[in-house]
Structures are given as structure tokens and as C-alpha cells.
Structure 1
Amino acid sequence: MRDPHLAVPYYPYGAPCWVDLLVSDVDRAQAFYSELFGWRWLTGDAASGGYTMALLGDHPVAGLSHRPPNARIPSQWTTYLRVGDIGVAAQAIANYGGRPLGRPVRIGALARTMVAIDPGGAYFGVWEPGDLPGSGMLDQPGSLTWNELLTRNYDVVLDFYENIFAHGFIDETENGGPRWSTAHTGDGNPAFGLAEIEDDWPKEIGSHWVTHFATENVVTSVAHALDLGAQLLQGPFDGPYGLGAVLSGVEGEVFSVLVPELD
């Protein structure tokens, strides 16, 4: 297999730049997402701990890791925010009410990473880039197009990300609707959505990030995903970021397919 292209979009500080999937059955997950998104796989060498990347064409678009049997973290998609110094980020996360999970991990020459829990209970990651600044493709079918954080602790979580990542939040709440806003990075570009989980949602739904992958046709993608063993959780619906649907994958991991509105 040829090496992936590492010329990628520019990711400013605090921008979601990478996503990866933690699952127990790697082979099953690879088969599912290869069929759904047309991905192929590049397994790293010993220096990267065998870290596996999904390629769309020759562009790296996501990562895949094996979940140990005793892991406390569930099978899930993790959104990584770009940082400059992961040690500084880890200290800031702890100072502002988050909880780093273990020490930073080096993925060979690609990056240093760490997973943490924010004050609302949502898992997220930080990404100090090396040779891989982030996803090599955005907004194309089968690649990352948007990230959204749903939380039950809206005010505290907004302050947390604002203080650590210098996000500027623009309130988008409509009259009578749930609170939501769009986080912007220092260059003014939208980074991710923040939405409040209201009391009428089922109690078992905790705070969580949702990774949105682009598609040209939501109905077709949902039907294909269901044929492959996924479950439909919500939609299709016309939301603030485009026409989308929320699914759970082969081990219950939550993700979305979305026709992005890029204007």
C-alpha cells in the first residue's frame, strides 16, 4: 500500500482535526466502514503502535484502535481538537474541571494524543500534530464534515471549551427551542456545534460528541448502513448543519451521515 498523502487542510488551534474509532472487533468495524464509506486501511508500524488509519483514496480520514477487554471507555468515535503543546493542554483540562485519561500517547511521528472527559461527562481528544496535522480531506462523501457536542451541562461545558481552546461561541438558540451555539476558532471559522440535552431526552443518553461524515444522499446511506447492521437513532432530518441522520454502528458507536450545507 502506498503511503497516504499528508498534505491536509489547515487546522487552527482548537479546531476538530481528527476522529478515530475505538472498537473491540477491528475486523468487523473495518468491513462495515469499508462498505459504507469506501475506506481502505493502512496499518502502522511498531513505532506507531500499529495504529490503523482509514484512507479515502490516498487521504487519511480517520483512525481505528482496538479496545482492550478491560477498557473503561466504551466503543466510540472520538473527536480530537488541535493543540500546540499536549502537556499544557492536559494541565488546562484538569484546571478547568475536566479529567485527562492517562498520559499523552505518541503515535510514531504522526502526532501526540490524549483522551479526556469534559465537565459534562463527554469524552474528547486533543491532538498535537507531528507529520499528520489532521484529516486529509473534508466535506467529501466518506470524510469528516462536522462535529457536534451534546451536553447536559451546557453553561459549564461552554465555559470549559472557551477557556481552554479560546473558542468564541455564537448563540443560535431559537425561541422556545433548546439552547445551542456554534463554536468558532480564533480565525473566525466555525469549529463545532454545542447543543443542550433537554430533560425530556431519555436519561440513559449522556453527554457525547457526534462525528458527522459527509454523504451525497442521506436516505441511500442510511439504507446501506442498516443493511450492514447499523441502527437508526434519529432522522433523517433537516438540521442546522444540513440534511442528516444519526446512526449507531456495529458496536453501538454513534455517528452521523450528513449532506453538508457549505455556503
Structure 2
Amino acid sequence: MVKNETRSGAVSSESVFGAPCWVSLTTRDVEAAEEFYRAVFGWKWRTNSLGDRFRVALADGVPVAGIAGVASMWQMAVAWTPYFAVASADEAAARCRERGGTTAVGPIAFSSGRAAVLADRDGAVFGIWEGRLVTGWEEWREAGPTFIRLHTRDAFDAAIFYGEVLGWASPGEGCCEVQYNGDEVVLRSGGAAVARIHSGAVEAAPDPTIRPHWQIHFAVADVDACVRAARDHGGAVLQGEEGAEEAVLADPDGARFTVTARREH
């Protein structure tokens, strides 16, 4: 993987373009979300320059996720959203629209880069980020999400859409590799599997877990402990039994995420 740096020496989005580089929670109640995820993951929180509605989650001192209490104000769904690194947010947003996707927010300029929230042509929401990464990419992946998975109508059609928007399988160093594995598409960056696309979602399904969406998977040492903490702090268990290596949970506001047993390297 090529390592591009900004003038400040920090790794930029161009070093991992096309790969997931951040996750953010849109919620209605920042304080309630802080309490819930502190109990489930042991995260600590810090404020940032965006204001009182925004926080950054820290795992062992490493920034791993953002939280934005803007769901009601911006009329956005309560949900976890993955962000993909791009060389140009404006160009990626334009490519999304040209291919039948939509733009929900942005691109918006921040002090360290530009971001936008988009939706693919099946309605699955994702973000893009251009600029300096919050932390080192490998460090973030080790401390934060293990990977993300897109549940969609047609994995191969979705792979073409995202490949064209995010520059997957482009020539040159640093781009993501796309691997077709049976009915699933696997995205790799630097040899690591960073995203998976799976067929079978139904666009008009009344159950939001069946409609096309991106699911964030967090690696944890004890899945059962996370399940208990989620229940004790107002969350819900959507899938997973005691002793399972994976469980799908929902926070008190309804945002869904997955906890997966951490595997030793």
C-alpha cells in the first residue's frame, strides 16, 4: 500500500483511496449514546471543534468512531455509516449521481478535509472522505471495526457501482482489490479484507435489517459481555445466542451494529 502524507505528516485519504477509513453514528441523543457505547465497548469520548453535538470515540486512546447528534435536526436516519477514502469528494459525489445514486449531505468542507453522505442506487447510505485521516489507517482498523458488510440486492451490480464511484481495482498502487468469492464480493486493501458485499437484501422489505444497508462489524474480546451490556443499558439483541461468535445489536435509539469475536493473529 502506498503511503501518502499531508504537509503535516499525517496519512491522507489518498493513501488508502477506495477503502473504508472511518465510521460515524448519527443519533438523536449524544449523551445517551455515549453512555451506551461506553458500557458495551469501554469507549472514552472527547469533544471536537464541530460543537456540542459531535464526539469522537477512543479505544485505548485511538480514535475509532464519530458520533453526531443531528438525526432530528438534519432529518437523517439514526444509523451507523461507513466512510470511504477518496482523492476528491466532489468527483466521487458526481460519479455517484451519474450512476443513479443520490447525495444526502455535502460535500462539506472541514478543517482537515471534505466529506459527503451519499446513497447508492438501492438506497444503502455511505460516506466519503477526502483529506487527512483522523488516525493511522492500520491503527484505526486494529482498534476499531474489523470490517463492514453491504447487504444488497445484487452483490455484483453493487460492486460495479462502488468500483466506479470509489475507484476500486484502478491501476496503480494504493487502490483496493476486488475479489469475487461465490455469491459474495470481497474488497481488499493492502492484502486485508476490509469490506464484503452480500446479495439477498430486498428493497421494499418492511424490516430495515433486510433492506439494503451497510453493517459495521466491531471486533470484541467477549461477545456475550457486549450482549449483556447492551441489554442492561437499553439496547436490543437482534441476532445471536449466548456463546455465539457474532451478535447483531441495536442501541437505545435503534442504530444497528455487529459485534464479532476478535481472532488472534
- TM-score after normalising by structure 2: 0.81
Partners in 1 of 2:242 and 2:36 — Cα distance?
23
Amino acid at match of 1:86: A
Partner of 1:25: 29
Q: Where does the alignment leave 5 or more consecutive residues of structure 1 unmatched? A: 1-5, 174-178
For residue 130 of structure 1, report the CA deviation from its aligned partner: 2.2
CA RMSD after TM alignment: 2.8
Partner of 1:252: 254
**What SS is found at the alignment partner of 2:142?**
coil
Q: Is the 8 A contact 1:103 1:114 kept in 2?
A: yes
2:232 to 214, 227, 231: 227
1:12 to 7, 13, 16: 16
For residue 22 of structure 1, report the CA deviation from its aligned partner: 0.5
Residue by residue over 1:103-123, the C-alpha shift from the partner in whole angstroms, topping out at 9 and shown as x without a partner, is 2123333x3211000111100
Trace 1:58-207 onto structure 2 (pairs within 5 A).
58-69=61-72, 71-109=74-112, 111-130=113-132, 132=134, 136-140=139-143, 143-165=144-166, 166-167=168-169, 168-173=177-182, 179-185=183-189, 187-197=190-200, 203-204=206-207, 205-207=210-212
CA 91–198 in structure 1, closer or farther in 2 if over 3 Å, else same: closer
For residue 184 of structure 1, report the CA deviation from its aligned partner: 2.5
Aligned length in residues: 243
Partners in 1 of 2:211 and 2:57 — Cα distance?
28
Q: Is the 8 A contact 2:148 2:216 kept in 1?
A: yes
For residue 39 of structure 1, report the CA deviation from its aligned partner: 1.2
For residue 238 of structure 1, report the CA deviation from its aligned partner: 10
Percent identity reads 30
**What SS is found at the alignment partner of 1:139?**
helix
Partners in 1 of 2:126 and 2:215 — Cα distance?
10
Residue by residue over 1:106-150, the C-alpha shift from the partner in whole angstroms, topping out at 9 and shown as x without a partner, is 3333x321100011110000011225256653334xx22111110
- TM-score after normalising by structure 1: 0.82
Q: Is the 8 A contact 2:12 2:132 kept in 1?
A: no
Q: Is the 8 A contact 1:120 1:156 kept in 2?
A: no
